[in-house]
Chain A
Amino acid sequence: MTRQRLTWMVIGLVVVGLLGVRGLVGQGLGRVYVERVEVSVAPGAGAASEPWRAVPAAEASRSWTTWKRVPPKAFGAALAADPEQDRVQLSWPRTIGLWLAAFFTLAIFSFLYADNVLYKLAESVVVGVSAAYWMTLGFWDTLVPKLGGAIVPDLVRTWVQPSLRDVDVQQQVSMWVAMVLGVMLLTRLAPRGGWIAAWPLAFIVGVTAGLKIVSHVESDLMAQAVATMQPVVKVVETADGGVSAWSTTWATLPGVLVLVGVICSLAYFLFSVQHRGVVGGAARVGVWYLMITFGAAFGMTVMGRIALLAARCEFLLDDWLWLIDPNNMRA
């Protein structure tokens, strides 16, 4: 047995042992409870107060059962009130889901020690589920309502989406064009005739470039230039109408920093002039500005990653292990 395999075995046994101990101590761990809620809607219900979503009078009354997640303490309270009750009960599917979430979280974390089969399993599940999810979403949220809803509206309305709005001729024509372009794009997969896909690709590139150029020029070039061209000196007056030197200096400093930063950073990207003399000095200051910017961006990224790690740790300690209870769900 290799040393790494032995380490994995020890880690596994320790985790299982700790879970066993945790399960036997106090309230236990990792259970999800639900409450049964009966819903019934009568024809014409809500017609007076909420007419926009009232059930048509011609339709039959309907009733169904939903299950609402409740905190574990609700189960204890319901059981104390009536030991025979089944309104609040343990939800096995949700509990299994919780344990699976904890297992996959730990499986992904295990990569920090070394690559292993549990990590590969978790990775494959993520990739598979994501691919299936996006495919299903693309079909039901784009192809069916947008393309199908325009080309064969009656079929979609009858079988899929009764509330589908009527489409005008212009929309129908544009969707036929979109479908033809989409089919042309699929020719890339064919052994011959792949050049046909160049046409829809050209269309996509052209439209995207058109949209982005206009928005970028408006919002990132013009509006940002206007926002930068502000008075550098900001005079701060005192209560008696005089000028506060300290406050004025303090208020002016950001403007000066922005002005110097913009000029020096632009100087660094001025490649048609040799970086010597004044231009070279400005470019070096520009490099410092860029480095500080990258440092700030790195710091923000670290903050984001730690926040995500903290969220997963909270999930493990709170929802799964029941070691902490910040939201008073079990007290």
Chain B
Amino acid sequence: MSGMGGQGAADGPLQRAAAWLVRLERLDRRWVFLTMGLAVLVPILWIGLTGRTFPETPTPAAQAVFDQIERLPEGSRVLFSFDYDPASAGELQPMATSLLRHCAARKLKVVCMALWPLGSNMAERTIAQVIRQDFPDRREGVDFANLGFQAGNEGVMKVTLTDLRKAFPRDARGQSTQDLPILQGVRSVRDFPLLIVVGAGYPGCKEWVQYVVTACGGSLKMVGGCTGVSAPQLYPYFPAQLSGLLGAIKGAAEYESLVNSAMGGETPPKYLEAQRRMAPQLFGHLLMVGLIVLGNLIYAAGRIRRAAA
């Protein structure tokens, strides 16, 4: 003990601070997990109890999505591909909800489809949550339709370029798409002025850009929403090949805020889902930044200690 005390007395304040930091090298990582859990859980509780959300300022990519839908004349048809499943619904469902709500409010005719097996269920759920509840005057088959899931990934995309009904001979209810009023006058995806894709991975936004939008040579506009993991791959396509992009929950919150402002009045809580998830994001990211800084300090402290030894 006396030896250690003597050595500590000989060390300067920098060495003592370094020695204290080096002890954190052996910190059990489960403390980090617990801290992250609390950083996410506490803001959710706070927002759940108070109902408050943070204000959002839209970035150009999110604003572009909003503007593209605003530009379409009433009654225009849009093709909406739900290429995700419940595993990524935490990120993507809020943006799908807001996109469908915006389209319905603008009185656009929405044709939903899916290249992910559970995407059809996600489309049906979103339609039930938005159109059937808040726009009951919209008629299925006339103002909106769910064509369901079709297996084949890029193969289906290529077929939609020539014959949409060949790719989707039946809708999600099993009825033939031949006589569907919403598809009257539609032969292929080229007959839609706007394509909306909410995609979690493969196949998703990237494949739609590669196989369909580029092949249409600019006649078809596309806006998309994607997970945080795939967003860096998609930003290079904006704005030339992708007219707007909602990157992860942040993009969803910005777009949600834009739609809520445009709709006016009191916003139902179900249309605040993305904004509610921004508080956990803030504290989670602050913790992550703090941990990165701390980790680097510990690394530097270790070097100082080794150099002193």
Check B297 for interface membership: any CB of A closer than 8 A: no
The residues in B between 150 and 178 inclusive whose CB is less than 8 angstroms from any CB of A are 150-151, 154, 158, 169-170, 173-176
User: Which chain B residues lie closer than 8 Å to A302 at the CB level?
Assistant: 228, 284-285, 288
- Once bound together, how far apart are the Cα atoms of A296 and B150, in whole Å? 34
Check B209 for interface membership: any CB of A closer than 8 A: yes
Main secondary structure of the interface of B (DSSP, over half): helix
Pair A293/B232 contact, Cβ less than 8 Å: yes
Pair B91/A308 contact, Cβ less than 8 Å: yes
The residues in A between 48 and 101 inclusive whose CB is less than 8 angstroms from any CB of B are 50-53
The residues in B between 182 and 239 inclusive whose CB is less than 8 angstroms from any CB of A are 209-211, 213-215, 227-229, 231-232, 236-237
Pair B90/A310 contact, Cβ less than 8 Å: yes
Given contacts A306-B280, A310-B277, whether A300 and B247 have CB atoms under 8 Å apart is: yes
Q: Which of A133, A211, A327 contacts B270 (CB 8 A)?
A: A327
The residues in A between 25 and 69 inclusive whose CB is less than 8 angstroms from any CB of B are 50-53
Pair A303/B249 contact, Cβ less than 8 Å: yes
User: Which chain B residues lie closer than 8 Å to A141 at the CB level?
Assistant: 117, 149-151
Give the residue name and chain of the A residue nearest to B288 (CB): A302
- Once bound together, how far apart are the Cα atoms of A296 and B270, in whole Å? 30
Check A120 for interface membership: any CB of B closer than 8 A: no
User: Which chain B residues lie closer than 8 Å to A299 at the CB level?
Assistant: 285
Chain A nearest CB: distance from B147 CB in Å?
Answer: 13
Check A227 for interface membership: any CB of B closer than 8 A: yes
Check B47 for interface membership: any CB of A closer than 8 A: yes
Chain B nearest CB: distance from A198 CB in Å?
Answer: 23
Q: Which of B45, B90, B179 contacts A308 (CB 8 A)?
A: B90
The residues in A between 107 and 159 inclusive whose CB is less than 8 angstroms from any CB of B are 112-113, 133, 137-138, 141-142, 146
Given contacts A113-B30, A293-B232, A306-B284, whether A146 and B41 have CB atoms under 8 Å apart is: no
Pair A310/B232 contact, Cβ less than 8 Å: no
Pair A324/B44 contact, Cβ less than 8 Å: yes
Interface size class of B (residues with CB under 8 A): 35 or more
User: Which chain A residues lie closer than 8 Å to B36 at the CB level?
Assistant: 309
Check A326 for interface membership: any CB of B closer than 8 A: yes
- Once bound together, how far apart are the Cα atoms of A141 and B174, in whole Å? 12
Pair B269/A219 contact, Cβ less than 8 Å: no
Chain A nearest CB: distance from B45 CB in Å?
Answer: 6
Pair A304/B288 contact, Cβ less than 8 Å: no
User: Which chain A residues lie closer than 8 Å to B249 at the CB level?
Assistant: 303-304, 307
Give the residue name and chain of the A residue nearest to B285 (CB): A302
Give the residue name and chain of the B residue nearest to A216 (CB): B210
The residues in A between 226 and 251 inclusive whose CB is less than 8 angstroms from any CB of B are 226-227
Query: A179-187, A268-276, A312-320: which lies at the B interface?
Result: A312-320
Pair A323/B48 contact, Cβ less than 8 Å: yes
The residues in A between 261 and 318 inclusive whose CB is less than 8 angstroms from any CB of B are 293, 296-297, 299-314, 317-318
4 A-B pairs besides A215-B211, A307-B228 with CB distance below 8 A are A52-B181, A308-B90, A310-B280, A313-B37
24 A–B contacts, CB within 8 A, in A order: A52-B141, A52-B175, A113-B30, A146-B151, A211-B211, A218-B214, A218-B215, A220-B210, A227-B240, A300-B228, A300-B232, A301-B228, A302-B228, A303-B250, A304-B229, A306-B280, A306-B284, A307-B248, A307-B277, A310-B40, A310-B90, A313-B37, A314-B277, A324-B44
Which residues of A line the B interface, CB within 8 A?
A: 50-53, 112-113, 133, 137-138, 141-142, 146, 161, 163-165, 211, 215-216, 218-220, 223-224, 226-227, 293, 296-297, 299-314, 317-318, 323-328
